[in-house]
Structure 1
Amino acid sequence: MVNEELVEVFKALSHPIRIDILDHLKSQPLTTGELSEKYDVSRYAIMKHLGVLVDANLITIRRKGRLRVNYLNVIPLQVLYNRWVSKYETPHANSLIAIKNLVEERKDVKMEQTKEIKVDSFQIEQEIVIQAKKETVFKALTEDISSWWHFRVGEKDSKLILEPKLAGRFYEDWGNGEGALWGNVTYYKRNEEIRLNGLLGMSGSVNSSYSYKLIEDGDRTVLQLSHQAVGILEPHWEEAHRHGWNELLAENLKEFVEQK
């Protein structure tokens, strides 16, 4: 992240309403109208705050008919943390915070005899800017995926294969006919978009789909990730997948492509 981008992120975080907006979007995506209803300021003022957040790439916009839906984009915050905040952390401070959180959690513990089964969902939207042409990024997403997708179900040196075609498989090959299926291709348009269905580390009664969309911007490519999951979800799965996608795309893929 260059200094100019850091300035935009710090500027965006300098107003309490903008921080509060990010807190709301962490729970779920919201339309501009839904956000405006939460504040005693004009809709125009909220739109100005959203404009600042868009400039800092902290939110992404998706149009659904006449509605503008706002999604949290955690990547700039994660990059800011990795390159700035984490340098000033101390082990002692982290230990004290952990103890404080543990004590406060125990105060609120309630013993339950039964566990309620709840159907839940999440939606993750992220945008990554990569300094390369669409064709290069698309090749990395398909032919070179084993080079930067570092997560594995089996052995660390197992090979990942994405078959570049409709109904193709995205799978991990352990040899001797053994492996793990990561997803199936449901939509395939070369150098433009790939959509897949797959559990991505989740299990049980879950329907999960994810897609990559490539938009060329001069010598750069904007990679838009969209991931939706619905079913009986574990509480930590959404946060785990947010961080996982950030690591895979904003760090691993971006570095792999830009250093080629």
Structure 2
Amino acid sequence: MSTATTPQDDRSLQLEVQTRVHASLDDTFAALLEELGPANLGYADAPMPMVLEAWPGGRWYRDLGNQDGHWWGTVQAIRRPTLLEICGPMMMSFGVASNIQYRLTADGHDTLLTFRHSALGLFPAGYRDALTQGWSAISRRIQARFPSP
């Protein structure tokens, strides 16, 4: 797994995480939808189930019940099993515009999962580091579902 951040200035974010998963494209994509949806974990691995409507224009949000919650984004593009792209504020409750992309590429019997997060906004000090850790954890959980043969 590799992680790279290349902030252009203190108002932008570029993050990339690549993870090799020992599973087919279809199985990896299904695990991705599960990890971003009902199996999602938050800070300190606390359960934080999300709803991901996996179609163009579908919402990605945290449903707290009683019509309360937090909208993270909208599915901008989906091409099963090779692409999921979402735009929106993500988990950030400050002025920001984000785009995340998950691209899946077959590599023999494995899948290369490439995650990219691009954002522009008013980031509080230290926020980039927390984002890197959170996104990397999702990729590690997907990878852990399919141990090495």
**What is the TM-score normalised by the length of structure 1?**
0.50
Report if the CA contact (8 A) 1:206-1:229 is conserved.
yes
Looking at secondary structure, tell me which structure has more helix per residue. Answer: 1
Q: Distance in 2 between matches of 1:27 and 1:221?
A: 25
Q: Distance in 2 between matches of 1:146 and 1:162?
A: 5
Q: Secondary structure at the match of 2:91?
A: coil
Q: Distance in 2 between matches of 1:190 and 1:207?
A: 25
Looking at secondary structure, tell me which structure has more strand per residue. Answer: 2
Q: Distance in 1 between matches of 2:29 and 2:5?
A: 29
Q: Distance in 2 between matches of 1:230 and 1:139?
A: 29
Deviation for aligned residue 1:126: 1.3
Where do 1:232-247 residues align within 5 Å?
232-247=122-137
Could you list the runs of 5+ residues in structure 2 that have no partner in the other structure? Answer: none
Q: Distance in 2 between matches of 1:26 and 1:159?
A: 27
**What is the TM-score normalised by the length of structure 2?**
0.83
Q: Which entry has the higher C-alpha Rg, 1 or 2?
A: 1
Q: Distance in 2 between matches of 1:244 and 1:198?
A: 17
Structure 2 equivalent of residue 161 of structure 1: 51
Where do 1:54-133 residues align within 5 Å?
120-133=11-24
Could you list the runs of 5+ residues in structure 1 that have no partner in the other structure? Answer: 2-24, 30-117
Among 207, 215, 221, the alignment partner of 2:97 is: 207
Q: One-letter code of the match for 1:231?
A: G
Among 24, 27, 31, the alignment partner of 1:140 is: 31
Q: Relative CO higher for 1 or 2, CA cutoff 8 Å, sep ≥ 6?
A: 2
Q: One-letter code of the match for 1:223?
A: L
* Residue 88 of structure 2 corresponds to residue 198 of structure 1: yes
Q: Distance in 1 between matches of 2:5 and 2:48?
A: 35
Q: Distance in 2 between matches of 1:216 and 1:26?
A: 25
